[in-house]
């Protein structure tokens, strides 16, 4: 198991200069002995550079630092779904030049920025979020 972590660090360690921290292995389900690789990264990070799984282990990501204003919304004094797709869209529309600069690609399209910030695939995230809302697992949100 530690060999997998060592390989992960060797392969993705270069992303540390972009703010990635590899925190190590964690057991998330003792009954099934399910482990994950835990990482920490800034919000403004190109998530397309990281896999969802690595050698059979899921990647559990935490966000370092605060979130932009678009993600701190409430509805009727109740917390809204933080990762609602429109939050990503509002943030990208407001901060496109800063996002392009921080991610090091001045020619990024809006779609590329959304994909980079929304866990690697914005349309897949949008579909999953809509499904979670339909199932009542997240508070309702408005789709654009």
Residue 24 DSSP SS3 = strand
Residue keyed to tokens 């099934």: 32
Tens-place pLDDT, residues 105-127: 999 999 999 999 999 999 999 99
Residue with tokens 């992960």: 8
pTM above 0.85, yes or no: yes
pLDDT at 144: 65
pLDDT of 57-102, one tens digit each?
999 999 998 899 998 866 666 678 899 999 999 999 999 999 999 9
pLDDT at 78: 67
Give the domain ranges of the chain. Answer: 2-64, 69-134
Distance set, CA 35 to CA 4, 49, 116 (Å): 11, 21, 25
129 Cβ neighbours under 8 A, 6+ residues apart: 81, 83, 84, 85, 138, 141
């Amino acid at each position: 198991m530690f060999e997998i972590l060592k390989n992960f660090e060797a392969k993705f360690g270069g992303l540390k200069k972009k703010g990635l921290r590899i925190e190590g292995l964690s057991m998330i389900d003792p009954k099934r002995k399910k482990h994950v690789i835990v990482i920490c990264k800034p919000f403004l990070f190109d998530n397309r550079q990281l896999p969802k799984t690595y050698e059979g282990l899921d990647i559990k990501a935490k966000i370092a630092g605060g979130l932009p204003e678009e993600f701190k919304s409430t509805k009727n004094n109740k917390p809204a779904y933080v990762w609602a797709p429109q939050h990503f869209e509002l943030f990208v529309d407001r901060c496109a030049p800063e996002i392009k600069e921080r991610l090091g690609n001045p020619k990024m399209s809006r779609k590329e920025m959304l994909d980079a910030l929304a866990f690697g695939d914005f349309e897949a995230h949008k579909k999953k979020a809509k499904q979670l809302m339909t199932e009542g697992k997240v508070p309702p949100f408005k789709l654009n």
